[in-house]
Structures are given as structure tokens and as C-alpha cells.
């Protein structure tokens, strides 16, 4: 035992400082007065639609007018009350957000851990010149804070202020430049894009081709079932039964599929991606526009999607995962689209920009042939490989997906083996990234000896890559 005295305690605890509330005299900044009404836009639309249907069916238009006036008065009073308790304060290196009427809330966002501040402009907000800020911090659960709604110029100024406090001058300059430039002048900035802007024709065709296989398959299944059962039990009886039990829900599913394809097209319209220093800057949207910032040093994985109807055209979609996005729940948005559709050259450029020296084409090795019966449709399109830069896995049937996880972003590696796998002598290797919920790279049904060797090699490469990186992503 050493006789040396213990070192003195630090004057303050080490690690992140505890959040402190602003003083009582701190001026709370308010959101725009239209915020509560815009946030209840869907409810108001439903109320107006219900009133319209009532007026049409009963021919009582006066009643519909009364309902609309009552909804307007109640909504206006509720908005005034809600605005008195909603606002935010930038105090020191923290952002404090207040809200709630019956249940008060006070959220503190540490700007030292700020990852990105994204600007979004839904169409209902654009009509009034408003915007919202989506704020993400490292280690957070998805979008940690949302400021909606603010005047567009005020939102851009606040975004620049928050990024400057967080020590991100390059991004702050980008935000200031964006405030000075109008959307009509966006074509003059095409020279700084990583790839040319995705054309409307290509995006529309890609959205249609991606949704087509599922819809055609459903039509064939229902059509065959109707023809067979109708010939046996009579078409009139089967038609009535199928309409109530199958066709009506199927029609609803078709409408949802169509709406999803249209939303995908509208969300990625006018897609642009550029790189500014250590950030990927993504702008997109036809009706709802968004300006997203993806820090390259926080990218934990890159996914390359190839829907079945895109393969003849060699199109692929590129999505990136970041440390904050990777911790969202399974029902939340899981990634950021870095390229909605592109040819091989464009995919290669975006992949290298997201993760330096990352290729876009991979040679993966399939699982052993003895496990083919477990995945008869997926076996040929399942595989894994340890490349020079990343751990790559492949999976999917309708959508062929390659997932590349840089070694420096792997936090843990696990080998699992179920009872049937143990009988077959195979195991599954799972590489988990920061936060990693739903974003693990999984090499399924590898030979048991190969799985153990692969896991050991992954740990060695992850430790070596993390040792070369400063600071390490947590």
C-alpha cells in the first residue's frame, strides 16, 4: 500500500455540468401566435370536413356555419391561453424550452452536445412565412427539441445563434448565407452540389417503380382468389363476402400505399446535397421543405437500397445513420436520405462524402448452403464481408440492401446461436453501433467457426480504428 497522500478533490465535479434554470428576470421569447392553430391543423381540417358532410347530408348549412364559428372561437381562446405558457430562453450554453397549460414542461437542451439544427417548413407554415427548428443533440432520443413556429428569418437567425454557441462557425455561416439567399436563387448554387439535383421525372418514375411490385402482387393474389372461389360458390355470394372481408380493407391498403408513394415523391422533390466542411447539407421538399445538417464525424452507418424494379436501371438509394438518429424508436424516422435515387457514379460520390474512402460496390459472401431452407427467397441476396473500411452486410428480397458500418463506429460485437442454429453448426454475428436501436449490422447464419473468427476480427479492427480517431464518437 502506498503512503502517498490522496490527490485533492477537484473544485467542481468532472463531466457535464448540471443544467441550471434561467433567473426569473430572463426574458422568455415567444413563438408565433399562429403556432397552436397550425399544430392543430389536422384536427381543424377534420372538423371542417365533418361540418361539410353534415351540411351536405342534412341541407342545414346554417348549422355548419355555427359549428365552424364555434370551432374558430374555441380554437382562438385555446391558442391565446397556450401561448402564455410556451416559449424558449437561450441562457449561457443551454436552450430552455417551456410549454404546457395543465401540465407544465421545462426542457433543457445542452448546446455543448448539439449535433444539428434542421430547418423545416411544412406547407401549412409556408403559407404564413413560418418555419420550425428541429434540434438534435448527441446521445438524444431522436429530435430532442422542436421550436414551432417562428418567422422564417427569425428561425434562420436563431439557428445561426445556436450553432455559433455550439462552436460550429462553418455551419453558422452557411445558415446566415441561406438567410440572405432566396429559394429562387438556388439554381445559382448548383456548382457546389455533390451530385446534380434529382430531376422530377427520375424521382416520379423511381417512386412509381418502387411501389409497383407490391401492388401488382396484391392484385394477382386477390384476383386469383376471387376467380377460384367465385367459380365454386358463385360470384355474387363471393363478391359480397370478399368486399366486406377483403376488398374494402385491400382498397384502404392500396390508398395508403399510393399516399406513401406520393409523400415520398413530395418529400424528396428538389433534392440537393452539398458538403460544407464536416457537414452534409441536405435540402429537399416540394410542399414541405426541409434543410438538414448531417455531421460527417457522427455518421454511424450507410445503407444502399436497391428496389427490385430499379435493378435494370442500376439505380440505388443512399441513407445515412447518425448517432442521434440511431437512438430513435422503431416507429420513428430511422435515417436521413442522402440520395433518393441515383446512378452508380452518383452513389459512389455520396458514399465517399458520408464516410471517407467508403466504396459503393461490395463483394459479400453468402451463408452456408445448408441454411438455404431457412431463407429460400433471401439466401442468394444475403451475405457479409469485412472490407478495408467497414463491416458490410446484405439482405432483402423486394429491396436489396447493403449496410456498411465503419469500424470506428462499432461499439460492441455479439455472437448468438439459437437451438436450430446449434444443430446446424451456424451462428449470427451482430455489430452494434452508437445507440444502435434497429441499426445493427447483422450477419445471419454464418458457419459457427467463421462467426467466432469474424467477431474477433471485428473487435480488433474496431479497437484499432477507434484508437486512430480523436475524439471518439460516444
- pLDDT, one tens digit per residue, over 235-250 is 676 666 665 566 666 6
Q: Residue with C-alpha cell 442521434?
A: 324
The side-by-side arrangement of strands in the sheet containing 410-416 is: 410-416, 426-433, 441-447
Q: Sorting pLDDT into bands at 50, 70 and 90, what band is 307?
A: very high
392: pLDDT strictly greater than 80: yes
Distance separating alpha carbons of residues 73 and 437, to the nearest angstrom = 44
- What residues contact 304, with CB distance under 8 A and at least 6 apart? 316, 317, 318, 347, 351, 360, 401, 402, 403, 404
327: pLDDT strictly greater than 60: no
C-alpha cell at 265: 415523391
- pLDDT, one tens digit per residue, over 181-236 is 444 444 445 657 899 999 999 999 999 999 888 778 777 777 777 677 777 766 67
Distance separating alpha carbons of residues 40 and 38, to the nearest angstrom = 5
Q: What is the mean pLDDT of residues 341-350?
A: 95
Kindly report the average pLDDT of the chain as a whole number.
80
- What residues contact 380, with CB distance under 8 A and at least 6 apart? 366
pLDDT at 138: 66
Q: Single out the residue of 300, 294, 303 nearest to residue 431, CA to CA.
A: 300
Q: What is the mean pLDDT of residues 17-44?
A: 72
21: how many CB neighbours lie within 10 A of its CB? 12
- pLDDT, one tens digit per residue, over 134-185 is 888 765 544 467 888 899 999 999 998 998 888 765 444 454 445 444 444 4
pLDDT at 196: 93
- pLDDT, one tens digit per residue, over 449-464 is 999 999 999 999 999 9
Q: What secondary structure letter does DSSP report for 243?
A: I
Is the link from the previous residue into 390 a cis peptide, with omega within 30 of 0?
no
Q: Residue with C-alpha cell 452539398?
A: 274
381: how many CB neighbours lie within 10 A of its CB? 17
Q: What is the mean pLDDT of residues 366-388?
A: 93
**Residue 445 contacts residue 421 (beta carbons within 8 Å):** yes
Q: What is the mean pLDDT of residues 280-284?
A: 92
329: pLDDT strictly greater than 70: no
**Residue 272 contacts residue 203 (beta carbons within 8 Å):** no
Q: What secondary structure letter does DSSP report for 184?
A: G
- pLDDT, one tens digit per residue, over 55-98 is 666 666 777 677 767 776 776 677 777 777 788 988 888 888 88
Domain coordinates of the chain in residue numbers? 35-183, 200-268, 275-468
Q: Is 193 left (phi over 0), alpha (psi -120 to 50) or beta?
A: beta
Amino acid at each position: 500500500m502506498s503512503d502517498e497522500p490522496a490527490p485533492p478533490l477537484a473544485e467542481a465535479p468532472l463531466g457535464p455540468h448540471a443544467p441550471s434554470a434561467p433567473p426569473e428576470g430572463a426574458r422568455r421569447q415567444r413563438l408565433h401566435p399562429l403556432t397552436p392553430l397550425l399544430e392543430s391543423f389536422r384536427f381543424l381540417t377534420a372538423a371542417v370536413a365533418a361540418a361539410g358532410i353534415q351540411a351536405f347530408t342534412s341541407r342545414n348549412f346554417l348549422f355548419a356555419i355555427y359549428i365552424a364559428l364555434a370551432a374558430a372561437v374555441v380554437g382562438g381562446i385555446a391558442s391565446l391561453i397556450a401561448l402564455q405558457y410556451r416559449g424558449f430562453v437561450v441562457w449561457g450554453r443551454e436552450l430552455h424550452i417551456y410549454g404546457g397549460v395543465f401540465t407544465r414542461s421545462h426542457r433543457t437542451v445542452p448546446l455543448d452536445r448539439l449535433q444539428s439544427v434542421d430547418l423545416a417548413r411544412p406547407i401549412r407554415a409556408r403559407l404564413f412565412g413560418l418555419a420550425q427548428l428541429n434540434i438534435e443533440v448527441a446521445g438524444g432520443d431522436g429530435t430532442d427539441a422542436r421550436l414551432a413556429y417562428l418567422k422564417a428569418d427569425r428561425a434562420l437567425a436563431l439557428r445561426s445563434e445556436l450553432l455559433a454557441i455550439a462552436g460550429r462557425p462553418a455551419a453558422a455561416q452557411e445558415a446566415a448565407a441561406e438567410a440572405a439567399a432566396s429559394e429562387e436563387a438556388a439554381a445559382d448554387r448548383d456548382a457546389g452540389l455533390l451530385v446534380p439535383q434529382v430531376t422530377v421525372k427520375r424521382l416520379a418514375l423511381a417512386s412509381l417503380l418502387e411501389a409497383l411490385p407490391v401492388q401488382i402482387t396484391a392484385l394477382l393474389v386477390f384476383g386469383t382468389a376471387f376467380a377460384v372461389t367465385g367459380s365454386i360458390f358463385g360470384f355474387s355470394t363471393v363478391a359480397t363476402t370478399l368486399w366486406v372481408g377483403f376488398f374494402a380493407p385491400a382498397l384502404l391498403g392500396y390508398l395508403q400505399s399510393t399516399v406513401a408513394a406520393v409523400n415520398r415523391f413530395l418529400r424528396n422533390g428538389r433534392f440537393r446535397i452539398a458538403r460544407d466542411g464536416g457537414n452534409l447539407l441536405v435540402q429537399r421538399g416540394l410542399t414541405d421543405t426541409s434543410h438538414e445538417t448531417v455531421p460527417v464525424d457522427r455518421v454511424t452507418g450507410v445503407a444502399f437500397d436497391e428496389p427490385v424494379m430499379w435493378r435494370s436501371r442500376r439505380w440505388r438509394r443512399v441513407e445515412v445513420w447518425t448517432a442521434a438518429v440511431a437512438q430513435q424508436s422503431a416507429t420513428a424516422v430511422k435515417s436521413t436520405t442522402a440520395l433518393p435515387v441515383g446512378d452508380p457514379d452518383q452513389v459512389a460520390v455520396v458514399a465517399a462524402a458520408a464516410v471517407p474512402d467508403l466504396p459503393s460496390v461490395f463483394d459479400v459472401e453468402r451463408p452456408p448452403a445448408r441454411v438455404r431452407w431457412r431463407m429460400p427467397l433471401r439466401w442468394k441476396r444475403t451475405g457479409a464481408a469485412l472490407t478495408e473500411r467497414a463491416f458490410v452486410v446484405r439482405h432483402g428480397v423486394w429491396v436489396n440492401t447493403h449496410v456498411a458500418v465503419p469500424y470506428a463506429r462499432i461499439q460492441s460485437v455479439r455472437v448468438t446461436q439459437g437451438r436450430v442454429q446449434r444443430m446446424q453448426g451456424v451462428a449470427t454475428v451482430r455489430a452494434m453501433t452508437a445507440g444502435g436501436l434497429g441499426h445493427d449490422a447483422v450477419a445471419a447464419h454464418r458457419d459457427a467457426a467463421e462467426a467466432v473468427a469474424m467477431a474477433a476480427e471485428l473487435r480488433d479492427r474496431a479497437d484499432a480504428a477507434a484508437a486512430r480517431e480523436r475524439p471518439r464518437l460516444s
